[in-house]
Structure 1
Amino acid sequence: MMKRFTAFLAAALLGFLLRQLGIPIPYMLGGIVSGFVLRAFLDSSFQWPRSWRGLMLGVAGYGIGSNCTPEAFVNLSQEALGIFGACLFTLAVSVGVAVHMHRHTFANLLSSIMGCLPGGLTAMTVLMDDYEEADENVVVVSQCLRLFVVEVSVPFLAINLFGGEVTRQEGTSLWAASVSDFQSLFHPDWLLVVPLVLAGRFLAKKIHMPTGQLLGPIMVTALFALWQGYVPRVPAPAMAFAQLHIGLYIGTMLDREKLMKTRQLVPNVLLGSLLMVASSAVLSVLLARLYGFTTLTAFLALAPGGIAEMCLTGMEMHQDVAVILTYQLVRVLMLAMGVPFVIRKFFKPSIGKKGGAA
């Protein structure tokens, strides 16, 4: 417990420093970096509890879903072609990267595809249990490295290429902003997060929703926001607390032993991840011109990261989170529902593995 407290404190301090530098999702990035350094260089057995991450995903899901308004969904209903086209383009680029990795490394095609699909960390690590051919080291290392590259490169490009910034109210000092953030914890309205998150998790479990710990609260909160027109925002300290837990969990998924076993993959995964980010940046310019929202919003909507990470970045940069959520959600649903069917078409599940064909 002391190690976890120390890790949490280190992540919080690093996150606070990143916040002063104007970096988006600072506490999540602080958690990722701290968790990776601790596991890779200090204690290879160090882990962050999955259950803690799951609870904090619910808080992040509430924060994301609270940005959905009736007006936003009316506008997005007119963009179906762009949404599905952009998602298919992103998936096509990732498959191209996987084929290149398969041809130039020891990794087989199935493992390469599972390792390169954007936003597929949870879905692919579950799906690989059904296939003897799937190399767990390849899938986990590739997905973690991809996610790590995206979490670092997307905020950098958002600030330096698309002009995004994390802003505080004009004329507000750091101390005054911090006091205001702390005082917001004592306004009870935001505690609506508790019943909505619990209802979302229950519903997601009942209908076997993919990545339900996040998507369940998002969907229930979004529906509640559409019904009421508004739901209270999560206070900044509570959201920072959630970001730290999510980041620490992601950071501790990588360790030095796995990296050494699959070191030949590292250059391919890094270059492939950067290619996916770059292609998203190029497509975002076209999408923004086509539909009229900002290029930064389009970039975050298309970036090959996770729903929570990209939406939280959009929230901190005051972008249209409903747009980001819709594009990211459609891609995740296509990945979780369509990709397993396609993979099963081309690769036969193994009878002997957990969850395999009976």
Structure 2
Amino acid sequence: MSEPKPLMPQFTALTIGLAGGLVAYFVGLPLPWMLGPMIANTFAAMMRAPIAGPDQLRPFVIPIIGVMLGSGVTAEIFGLLGTWLLTLLLLPLFLACAAGISYAVYRRIGKYDPVTSFYSAMPGGLNEMLILGGEAGGDERRIALAHAARVLIIIVFVALFFGLILGVSSGGRGAIQWIGIYEITALDYVILGSCALAGTLLGKWLGLLTAPVFGPMILSGIAHIFGWVTVAPPTLFVVAAQITIGTVIGTRFIGATLAEVRKDIGLSAVASFLMLVAAVGFAELIVVISGIPLAQAFLAFSPGGLTEMSLLTLAMEQDVTYVSIMHIIRITLVIALAPFVFKWVRRKP
């Protein structure tokens, strides 16, 4: 078991994250409370500031996001399940295409070894790919940097794509609907808190992927569908959760040399851009055949993190349930199939 990190560097990172969030909010960036801390702490890590990631807070704040996402679930969503079939059928094909493109970038351009190239290229969760890649003998630092850079780059790119290309408004300054701490009842607090705690425990007991997000999201969705509660968690809690998540992502670049970061971020930028081009292509196909809005289809295929993409979907006022489920399936498929695909790829030169 790793030793706990000193508190002061974590506090410094969170303070930098808060400052970054405030700046991002007042200049009108999309998803400011996560994007601001993420960018600010990335720069702080590059400048060798005395910071550390508040990783121990993440398990406590992630369920808040799950409860918030569940508050957007409505009974009408079940009538749309049939329209999701095409996305489900195309998702494995997209993953193969995106992973193949990304692998070629890391292997042919970056000259990484086959193991590091493969697990850096897989559009799955950072922690899972890091564990699998490390066990297979890959360079864990490069794998971690590749996925951290992918998440950061894709969030920034998708936010800009929505604002500049699709013209979709985002959750910047003035767009957020504030829910005060005293605006919900004691019963609301009990129900929402129970969804967070019981959902996390239930998700882990059932072995659900990303249980701290998906478990609370399921219970919160049920509670809102049946009308047991009609509000989301107080905005202050949600903002605090986003600042923590953004800070954790930014601090993943701690300890990396400038040369490593330049190369890894450069390769990740190329790989991420090509994956997003593929995502746009598949999204357009879904739009033509099934009529699902381009914004939602694009978000469903954008290979960022589940929590981050769900938050971005919420900020863009799109269907959170559709996008979240597609990302859960994406990550599940990658984790389940990556070791088997790797055995086949390793036979290649």
TM-score, length-scaled by structure 1? 0.84
Contact 1:70 1:229 in 2 (8 A): no
Q: Classify the secondary structure of the residue corresponding to 1:51.
A: coil
Measure, in 2, the Cα distance between the counterparts of 1:126 and 1:317: 32
Give the aligned residue type for 1:18: A
1:55-102 Cα deviation digits (max 9, x unpaired): 111111111222222321331234223223134314422222213321
Q: Tell me the residue number matched to 1:335.
A: 334
> How far is the alpha carbon of 1:198 from its aligned partner?
1.4
**CA distance 1:327–1:87, change in 2 (3 Å):** farther
Q: What is the correspondence of 1:234-245 to structure 2 with a 5 Å cutoff?
A: 234-245=233-244
**CA distance 1:104–1:314, change in 2 (3 Å):** closer
Give the aligned residue type for 1:270: A
Measure, in 2, the Cα distance between the counterparts of 1:78 and 1:282: 18
Contact 1:150 1:304 in 2 (8 A): yes
Give the aligned residue type for 2:267: N
Task: Name whichever of 303-312 and 209-218 sits farther off.
Answer: 209-218
Measure, in 2, the Cα distance between the counterparts of 1:262 and 1:28: 21
1:43 aligns with 2:49: yes
Q: Tell me the residue number matched to 2:29.
A: 23
Contact 2:101 2:275 in 1 (8 A): no
> How far is the alpha carbon of 1:119 from its aligned partner?
3.7
Q: Tell me the residue number matched to 1:214.
A: 213
Specify which of 10, 19, 22 is matched with residue 16 of structure 2. Answer: 10
> How far is the alpha carbon of 1:347 from its aligned partner?
5.7
Contact 1:190 1:232 in 2 (8 A): no
What 5-or-longer segments of structure 2 have no aligned partner?
A: 1-6
Contact 1:185 1:237 in 2 (8 A): no
1:119-140 Cα deviation digits (max 9, x unpaired): 42122122224222x1112211
1:121 aligns with 2:126: yes
Contact 2:118 2:342 in 1 (8 A): no
**CA distance 1:219–1:122, change in 2 (3 Å):** farther
Q: Tell me the residue number matched to 1:182.
A: 180
Give the aligned residue type for 1:32: M
TM-score, length-scaled by structure 2? 0.86
Aligned-residue RMSD, C-alpha: 2.9
What 5-or-longer segments of structure 1 have no aligned partner?
A: 349-358
Measure, in 2, the Cα distance between the counterparts of 1:261 and 1:183: 44
**CA distance 1:227–1:92, change in 2 (3 Å):** farther
Q: Classify the secondary structure of the residue corresponding to 1:43.
A: coil
> How far is the alpha carbon of 1:117 from its aligned partner?
1.8
1:98 aligns with 2:103: yes
> How far is the alpha carbon of 1:18 from its aligned partner?
2.0
Q: Classify the secondary structure of the residue corresponding to 2:252.
A: coil
Specify which of 53, 65, 85 is matched with residue 80 of structure 1. Answer: 85
> How far is the alpha carbon of 1:154 from its aligned partner?
0.9
1:313 aligns with 2:319: no
Measure, in 2, the Cα distance between the counterparts of 1:207 and 1:327: 19
Give the aligned residue type for 2:215: G
Q: What is the correspondence of 1:199-348 to structure 2 with a 5 Å cutoff?
A: 199-226=198-225, 228=227, 231-257=230-256, 260-261=259-260, 263-343=262-342
Specify which of 112, 115, 130 is matched with residue 117 of structure 2. Answer: 112
Contact 2:154 2:272 in 1 (8 A): yes
1:163 aligns with 2:167: yes
Give the aligned residue type for 2:135: D
> How far is the alpha carbon of 1:156 from its aligned partner?
0.8
1:259-293 Cα deviation digits (max 9, x unpaired): 53465444222111111122222332332333333
Q: How many residues align?
A: 340
Give the aligned residue type for 1:92: C
Residue identity over aligned pairs, in percent, reads 23
1:32 aligns with 2:30: no
Q: What is the correspondence of 1:125-140 to structure 2 with a 5 Å cutoff?
A: 125-132=130-137, 134-140=138-144
1:299-337 Cα deviation digits (max 9, x unpaired): 212111112112211212221212212222221221233
